């Protein structure tokens, strides 16, 4: 997953690029906060970092630095914008468009660090400041993007762009900057602009509160197990890790703490033989955000949906989905619906067939119960083992994390692209678990890669990439990117053994990192992963092929104790089982993606009171064809963090991107596989371009043809 914008809206000026890259699927927004402390000369954000590639000096950063740096950064950017407006010269590409790209260096630096830490290593101080900053930053953004005089200068350059002879990236920068201002509401009249500012402020406040409630409830909902017998099915290492988590939480001995993931399904249930505990976990997960109390998100969700619907109407769109999709590759909600509706009946039919097979297994074993959501993963693993003789726990010793990283992910990148990775342990990080690597392309320095693998209470759930520094020839910067995972940390002295899903996630997130590292553009507006939301997952999904590519898998899948490679027969079974359970996986995803679209197509008057939100969700899912209870949506609305932030009306992006991904992997297989020639083609024609050209133009230039849906249908077992 790629982190998106601060408020789920395009940002245009220099520092606002940082907000888009750093803040992610949650958000802030408007009003005035308490005065910030005076900026100090010792504040590390007030000057460029002296470290390699501009890596933030984490060892010097204190919480007290953030508020004054934000204040100084906003003041600096306001002054820079005022200087653009004060120019007596007629608007030109250089004195207006490029000048805007150069604004806000301080705000860029502090935003990237602060919002990265608010996801990766937060605390009460960061959460409080985040809520306080939200209205300030929304107001700051609006003061720039809704400034009629500034828009007039941008429009003037846009109107003469052909006469100026602008071409390539420069021409695209003018056109995209103009669109950003239009979408922000710069062309509205005074009354509408004033209301839009109010909406943006309210959205920021509600989105930040939603995000904080989700994270706090995930931590508060962790289940305490007091009878070790309930942990039957878990390995000794897994039990030791849960015991350590309980001890770290101050629960004392003979307690085991199971933390929840933000997804509806909880991965640990696949191994738990104790059915009542599986049920407790599932119900605790699904109850989040709508059971009353301080974490209840129903009112926040509805407030956000209503504000978004009003905003879309102000900007001339039929609904918020139309607004959100207009600047994506899909372009219209109807195009999204056409794809989702083609996939849904096939996926649900597959899931029902899988469910029938699981029920048959339950009956054969004399289970005496109907298949429920908390049974699915458990019996799926049993059936997987039965059909393919795969024992997921027995595979873990072959997937030791550091070997997967170095001999899998890095080896794959070296073979395909000529990359080399060098440990940089002396460079400072924000947490002891974070590793830093310098990256070289054919021995030329490319950037830094930070690897943050372990779950902790201060980190939100899921896996994602973010950039601390984005590449830009205009600014003379190279990329500093980070991958964040949520792997359970083992007890001290024990190895970190991964599930195959976790292995796949490592390759996926590293695909995002490569997209950032390979960026070779002039303007920050187009750097790295700053591409349409329904395109950003495409490169990362392509790189998942490394996890199962036979030559790569053989290189990293080695028993951590014996050094023996994963047996050939086991390897073949892993590859053969790739489409197993695809009905479930596709259905739970499509349910969430379709729900997102449906919620954002509703007019204000169709949105209910908070108490009826879950009834609305159930009704929408049934109408959309998802009426199969054993497969709930991957996220329920009250904890659907993606769509309450940067992926609003955009969760479909993963499957949209996978169409491109499946077609691209088919191209690699048909053209000689993981050769350096193929890697260079993909890097040079697509990964290095960011959004300096339209996304589908880049795809077709690489692929040599428009995308085809058939490889995706084949991959997911959805062909007729």
| SS3 track for 566-598 | CCHHHHHHHHHHHHCCHHHHHHHHHHHHHHHHH
Q: For residue 439, what are the contacts with CB-CB under 8 A and spacing of at least 6? A: 419, 420, 421, 445, 446, 447, 448, 449, 517
pLDDT value at position 15? 53
Q: For residues 289 and 296, is the Cβ–Cβ distance under 8 A?
A: yes
**440 CA to centre of own chain:** 25
Query: Can you tell me the distance from the alpha carbon of 110 to that of 19, in angstroms, rounded to the nearest whole number?
Result: 10
pLDDT value at position 373? 98
Nearest Cα neighbor of 246 from 237, 238, 234, 255 is 255
Burial class (CB in 10 A: 0-12, 13-18, 19+), 629: exposed
Q: How confident is the model at residue 33 (pLDDT cuts 50, 70, 90)?
A: very low
Query: Can you tell me the distance from the alpha carbon of 628 to that of 645, in angstroms, rounded to the nearest whole number?
Result: 28
| Other Cβ atoms closer than 10 A to 13 | 28
The conformation of residue 558, written as its DSSP 8-state character, comes to B
For 152-165, the pLDDT digits (tens) are: 999 999 999 999 99
Checking if the pLDDT of 35 tops 70, the result is: no
* H or E element at residue 410: helix 410-417
Q: Which residues pair with 477 in a beta bridge?
A: 472
Q: What is the mean pLDDT of the chain?
A: 91
Nearest Cα neighbor of 504 from 628, 379, 408 is 408
In this structure, what token pair is assigned to residue 48?
A: 């460029």
* Counts of helices then strands in the chain (DSSP H, E): 28, 7
Query: What are the C-alpha distances in Å from 383 to residues 231, 234, 481, 675?
Result: 21, 18, 39, 37
Helix axes 190-220, 298-314, angle to 10 degrees: 160
Q: Over pLDDT 70: what percentage of the chain?
A: 94
Checking if the pLDDT of 46 tops 50, the result is: yes
* H or E element at residue 467: strand 464-469
Query: Can you tell me the distance from the alpha carbon of 97 to that of 91, in angstroms, rounded to the nearest whole number?
Result: 9
Query: Can you tell me the distance from the alpha carbon of 135 to that of 138, in angstroms, rounded to the nearest whole number?
Result: 5
Query: What are the C-alpha distances in Å from 186 to residues 5, 81, 149, 644?
Result: 19, 15, 9, 24
Nearest Cα neighbor of 49 from 101, 131, 113, 123 is 113
Checking if the pLDDT of 533 tops 60, the result is: yes
Helix axes 124-145, 168-184, angle to 10 degrees: 100
Checking if the pLDDT of 2 tops 60, the result is: no
Give the residue with greater pLDDT, 4 vs 540. Answer: 540
Query: Can you tell me the distance from the alpha carbon of 53 to that of 467, in angstroms, rounded to the nearest whole number?
Result: 12
What is the CA angle 454-556-541, rounded to 5?
Answer: 65
Characterize the bridge pairing of strands 479-487 and 435-441. unpaired
pLDDT value at position 38? 43
Nearest Cα neighbor of 263 from 711, 648, 585 is 585
pLDDT value at position 577? 80
For 67-85, the pLDDT digits (tens) are: 999 999 999 999 999 999 9
Nearest Cα neighbor of 439 from 459, 424, 420, 412 is 420
Query: Can you tell me the distance from the alpha carbon of 525 to that of 9, in angstroms, rounded to the nearest whole number?
Result: 14
Q: Is residue 413 classed as helix, strand or coil in its secondary structure? A: helix
What is the CA angle 55-56-62, rounded to 5?
Answer: 165
In this structure, what token pair is assigned to residue 434?
A: 């974070």
pLDDT value at position 575? 77
Q: For residues 354 and 581, is the Cβ–Cβ distance under 8 A?
A: yes
pLDDT value at position 29? 26
Read off the pLDDT of each residue in 465-479 and give the average, rounded to a whole number: 97
Checking if the pLDDT of 362 tops 70, the result is: yes
| Other Cβ atoms closer than 10 A to 112 | 26
Residue ranges of domains in the chain: 14-216, 221-286
Question: What stretches of 557-715 show up as alpha helix (H) in DSSP?
Answer: 568-576, 582-599, 613-623, 653-670, 676-685, 695-703, 710-715
Q: What are the backbone angles phi and psi of residue 222, rounded to the nearest 5°?
A: -55, 135
Q: For residue 127, what are the contacts with CB-CB under 8 A and spacing of at least 6? A: 118, 212
Q: How confident is the model at residue 572 (pLDDT cuts 50, 70, 90)?
A: confident
Instruction: Give the end-to-end CA distance of the chain in Å, rounded to a whole number.
Output: 30
In this structure, what token pair is assigned to residue 708?
A: 């085809």
Q: Which residues are catalytic?
A: 509
Nearest Cα neighbor of 289 from 638, 16, 690 is 638
Q: Is residue 167 classed as helix, strand or coil in its secondary structure? A: coil
pLDDT value at position 13? 52
The residue with tokens 């001999």 is 407
Q: How would DSSP label each residue in 230-296?
A: GGTTS-HHHHHHHHHHHHHTT--SS-EEEPPPSSSS-GGGGT---HHHHHHHHHHHHTTTSSSSTT-
pLDDT value at position 21? 39
| 14-216 CATH pick, 1.10.1370.40, 2.40.50.100, 1.10.540.10, 3.30.497.10 | 1.10.1370.40
Query: Can you tell me the distance from the alpha carbon of 33 to that of 137, in angstroms, rounded to the nearest whole number?
Result: 10
Query: Can you tell me the distance from the alpha carbon of 403 to that of 405, in angstroms, rounded to the nearest whole number?
Result: 5
In this structure, what token pair is assigned to residue 251?
A: 């629960």
Query: Can you tell me the distance from the alpha carbon of 17 to that of 526, in angstroms, rounded to the nearest whole number?
Result: 9
For 384-419, the pLDDT digits (tens) are: 888 888 777 888 999 999 999 999 999 999 999 999
pLDDT value at position 17? 44
Nearest Cα neighbor of 99 from 107, 91, 108 is 91
Query: Can you tell me the distance from the alpha carbon of 115 to that of 108, in angstroms, rounded to the nearest whole number?
Result: 11
């Amino acid at each position: 997953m790629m982190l998106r914008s601060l408020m789920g809206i395009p940002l245009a000026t220099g520092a606002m690029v940082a907000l888009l890259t750093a803040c992610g699927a949650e958000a802030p927004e408007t009003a005035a906060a308490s005065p910030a402390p005076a900026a100090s000369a010792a504040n590390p954000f007030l000057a460029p970092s002296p470290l390699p590639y501009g890596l933030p000096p984490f060892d010097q950063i204190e919480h007290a630095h953030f508020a004054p740096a934000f204040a100084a950064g906003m003041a600096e950017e306001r002054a820079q914008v005022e200087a653009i407006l004060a120019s007596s010269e007629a608007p030109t590409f250089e004195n207006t468009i490029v000048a805007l790209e150069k604004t806000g260096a301080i705000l860029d630096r502090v935003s990237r660090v602060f919002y990265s830490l608010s996801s990766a290593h937060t605390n009460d101080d960061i959460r409080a400041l985040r809520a306080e900053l939200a209205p300030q930053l929304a107001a700051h953004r609006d003061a720039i993007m809704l400034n009629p005089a500034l828009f007039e200068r941008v429009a003037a350059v846009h109107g003469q762009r052909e006469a100026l002879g602008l071409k390539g990236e420069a021409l695209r920068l003018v056109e995209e900057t103009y669109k950003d201002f239009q979408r922000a509401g710069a062309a509205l009249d005074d009354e509408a602009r004033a209301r839009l500012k109010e909406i943006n402020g309210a959205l920021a406040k509600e989105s930040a509160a939603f995000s904080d409630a989700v994270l706090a409830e995930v931590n508060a909902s962790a289940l305490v197990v007091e009878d070790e017998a309930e942990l039957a099915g878990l390995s000794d290492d897994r039990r030791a890790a849960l015991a350590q988590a309980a001890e770290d939480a101050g629960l004392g001995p003979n307690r085991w703490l199971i933390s929840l993931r933000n997804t509806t399904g909880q991965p640990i249930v696949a191994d738990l033989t104790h059915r009542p505990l599986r049920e407790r976990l599932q119900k605790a997960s699904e109850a989040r955000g709508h059971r009353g109390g301080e974490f209840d998100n129903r009112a926040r969700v509805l407030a956000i949906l209503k504000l978004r619907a009003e905003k879309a109407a102000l900007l001339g769109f039929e609904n918020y989905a139309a607004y959100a999709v207009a600047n994506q590759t899909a372009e219209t909600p109807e195009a999204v619906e056409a794809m989702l509706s083609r996939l849904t009946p096939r996926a649900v039919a597959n899931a029902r067939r899988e469910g029938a097979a699981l029920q048959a297994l339950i009956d054969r074993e004399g289970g005496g119960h109907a298949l429920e959501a908390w049974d699915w993963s458990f019996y799926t693993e049993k059936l997987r083992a039965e059909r393919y003789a795969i024992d997921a726990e027995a595979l873990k010793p072959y997937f030791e994390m550091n070997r997967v990283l170095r001999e899998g992910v890095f080896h794959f990148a070296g073979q395909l692209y000529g990359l080399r990775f060098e440990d940089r342990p002396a460079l400072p990080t924000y947490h002891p678990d974070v590793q830093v690597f310098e990256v070289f392309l054919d021995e030329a320095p490319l950037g830094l890669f930070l690897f943050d693998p372990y779950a902790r209470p201060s980190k939100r759930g899921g896996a994602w990439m973010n950039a601390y520094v984005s590449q830009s020839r205009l600014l003379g910067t190279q990329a500093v990117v980070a991958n964040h995972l949520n792997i359970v940390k083992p007890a001290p002295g024990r190895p970190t053994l991964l599930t195959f899903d976790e292995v796949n996630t490592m390759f996926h997130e590293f695909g995002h990192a490569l997209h950032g590292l390979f960026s070779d553009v002039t303007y920050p507006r187009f750097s790295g992963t700053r591409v349409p939301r329904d395109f950003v997952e495409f490169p990362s999904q392509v790189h998942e092929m490394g996890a199962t590519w036979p030559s790569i898998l053989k290189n990293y899948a080695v028993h951590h104790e014996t050094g023996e490679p994963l047996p050939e027969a086991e390897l073949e079974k892993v590859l053969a089982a790739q489409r197993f359970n695809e009905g479930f996986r596709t259905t739970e995803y499509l349910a969430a993606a379709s729900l997102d679209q449906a919620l954002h197509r509703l007019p204000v008057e169709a949105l209910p009171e908070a108490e009826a939100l879950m009834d609305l969700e159930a009704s929408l899912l049934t109408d959309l064809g998802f009426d199969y209870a054993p497969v709930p949506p991957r996220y329920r609305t009250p904890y659907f963090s993606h769509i309450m932030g940067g992926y609003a009306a955009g969760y479909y992006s993963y499957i949209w991107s996978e169409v491109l991904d499946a077609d691209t992997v088919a191209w690699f297989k048909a053209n000689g596989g993981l050769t350096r020639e193929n890697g260079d083609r993909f890097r040079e024609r697509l990964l290095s371009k960011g959004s300096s050209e339209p996304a589908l133009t880049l795809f077709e230039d690489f692929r040599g043809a428009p995308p085809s849906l058939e490889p995706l249908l084949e991959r997911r077992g959805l062909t007729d």
